[in-house]
Homo-oligomer: A and B are copies of this chain.
Amino acid sequence: MFLKYFYDKHLAQASYLIGCQATGEAAVIDPARNIEPYLLVAQEEGFSITRALETHIHADFVSGVTELARRTGAVIYHSSEGAENGGYTLDPYLPQQGLNHGDVVSVGNVKLRTLHTPGHTPEHISFELTDGAQAEQPMGVFTGDFVFVGDVGRPDLLEKAAGVKDSADKGARQMFHSLQQFKAYEDYVQIWPGHGAGSACGKALGAVPTSTVGYERRYNPAFQLTEEEEFVRFLLDGQPEPPAYFATMKRVNPSGMTPLAEVPGGVLMDLKGDSVAALAASASAMVIDTRSARDFAGGSIPGTINLPYPGPFAEWMGRLADGAVDLYMIAELNHVDEIRTILTSMGMDRIKGFFAPGVVKTATSLRSYTNSTPKEVEYEKKVKDLQILDVRYQDEWEAGHISDAIHIPLPELMEEAGRLSNDQPVAVHCASGIRSAIAASILLKHGYEVINMVGGFNRWQQEQLLTTSGSGKGVTEVS
């Protein structure tokens, strides 16, 4: 048996290719839309991919099962469980098969037994692998978004991202029962999860690729709670806000997205800066500047949004961008291919063009903002009126904030920036400075004079401690 782990670090998404050397067959579990890595490994190792398996309807990436079916002839296997909530409606011409609890899919000598493990979603299934060539007991389980290393899948996405009422509580209870069932596995069984650290499909995922039932039994907090109500409270508490594009994913994945064979990926362009500004001003387009925050601060084309690549690009595209507009990117040319892959992996197919960073200098007027330390901001605030804008999340705000700050979480800023006053500069901060630089670009787009408070709330707090002997003056602590 052959097993290979694939990891998309931008989306923190894991997939697996398993193959049987005896028959040359292979299967991919939870493939990403960019299936080339699987094809290349299959070719190198001499496998034909004959099966594409999916644990559940993904919310955070475009599933690659239809790509695999179209481009390799693989049969798609997906859940037939929990169908009352709406199931798969793939193109009937694609070879496909629904799976119920207990169904076995064979890949040569390798057996994949289906387990219905609802919780993250009602239809969620897992695949227990037994290497039939040498063993009678399972080697491990592909757990998808059911069990992660150090965490379990969040049950609230369907409610928050797809608007299915009351599904969060119901999912949490299903998760409790799925987990009790799962605990029956022996300690040595491996866990091969669908996500790693940084995924928004859970709240505390680890950066170790795989684990074991025994280890999670000992150290995964979700395995410690044996009382349902307590488990439900624990599970629903502190889940991060789902990114905006999750809703689109939930909509397109059941039926399959446009084949990549029909998606042009954007061309290199060389318009003048003012034409780029005109694009950026259009309601039907979005121009993302992927240069560093430092470069953007020093001069940017009016209307462009700053999402540095690499860095917070993928995460904030998912939270801020709208798949329903044309996308243009200012990017280093050697980043183009990878940016294209990230965008199509998130279903953002309307990629129209790429501009080299030099385009910025060709605009007749540029916008810029100032980077100032908290101390400098405080000084400025004394000599002229400033608005302090805090763009952190609700829970961060509640744990303490600058006393007279205005609070608009970054995901809402594009819509809500109008609440600020036009008469005073806006000094914006987040926790450490990454989100506030993005916010600064949004504020520039809305026409504000902007100061980015470098180091963010963390540094502000440190400076407060130093200058006020820890009195916490100006900090509102919320119990």
**CB pair B39 A268 closer than 8 Å:** yes
Chain B nearest CB, measured from A93 CB (Å): 14
**A42 CB-CB contact with B under 8 Å:** yes
- Contact flag A272-B73 (CB < 8 Å), given A134-B150, A188-B215, A334-B334: yes
**CB pair A134 B267 closer than 8 Å:** no
A-B contact pairs, 17 of them (CB 8 A): A1-B206, A1-B207, A4-B209, A9-B44, A42-B270, A43-B270, A71-B267, A71-B268, A71-B271, A72-B270, A73-B275, A189-B212, A189-B214, A190-B190, A260-B264, A265-B265, A334-B334
Task: Enumerate chain A interface residues (CB-CB to B < 8 A).
Answer: 1-5, 9, 21, 36, 39-40, 42-44, 48-49, 71-73, 131, 134-135, 137, 139, 150, 186-190, 197, 206-215, 217-219, 259-272, 275, 294-295, 298, 310, 333-334, 352-353, 356, 358, 362
Cα distance A231–B135 when bound, in Å?
Answer: 21
Q: Copies per complex?
A: 4
Neighbouring B residues of A275 by C-beta, 8 Å: 73
Which residue in chain B gives the minimum CB-CB distance to A35? B268
**CB pair B266 A264 closer than 8 Å:** no
Neighbouring B residues of A188 by C-beta, 8 Å: 187-188, 212-215, 217-218
Cα distance A260–B352 when bound, in Å?
Answer: 10
Which residue in chain B gives the minimum CB-CB distance to A188? B214
**CB pair B71 A270 closer than 8 Å:** yes
Cα distance A362–B26 when bound, in Å?
Answer: 14
- Contact flag A210-B210 (CB < 8 Å), given A135-B219, A270-B42: yes
**CB pair B3 A208 closer than 8 Å:** yes
Chain B nearest CB, measured from A244 CB (Å): 25
**CB pair B334 A270 closer than 8 Å:** no
**CB pair B3 A261 closer than 8 Å:** no
Cα distance A201–B21 when bound, in Å?
Answer: 21
- Of the residues B71, B186, B270, contact of A187 by C-beta under 8 Å: B186
**CB pair A270 B190 closer than 8 Å:** no
Neighbouring B residues of A187 by C-beta, 8 Å: 186-188, 212, 214
**CB pair A270 B218 closer than 8 Å:** no
Neighbouring B residues of A362 by C-beta, 8 Å: 48
Chain B nearest CB, measured from A25 CB (Å): 11
**CB pair A270 B48 closer than 8 Å:** yes
**CB pair B134 A71 closer than 8 Å:** no
Cα distance A294–B294 when bound, in Å?
Answer: 9
Which residue in chain B gives the minimum CB-CB distance to A196? B2
Which residue in chain B gives the minimum CB-CB distance to A298? B294
**CB pair B353 A261 closer than 8 Å:** yes
Chain B nearest CB, measured from A195 CB (Å): 15
Chain B CB count within 10 A is highest, among A139, A263, A266, for: A139
Which residue in chain B gives the minimum CB-CB distance to A212? B188
Chain B nearest CB, measured from A11 CB (Å): 15
Which residue in chain B gives the minimum CB-CB distance to A4? B209
Neighbouring B residues of A73 by C-beta, 8 Å: 271-272, 275
- Of the residues B266, B294, B298, contact of A261 by C-beta under 8 Å: B266
Neighbouring B residues of A150 by C-beta, 8 Å: 134
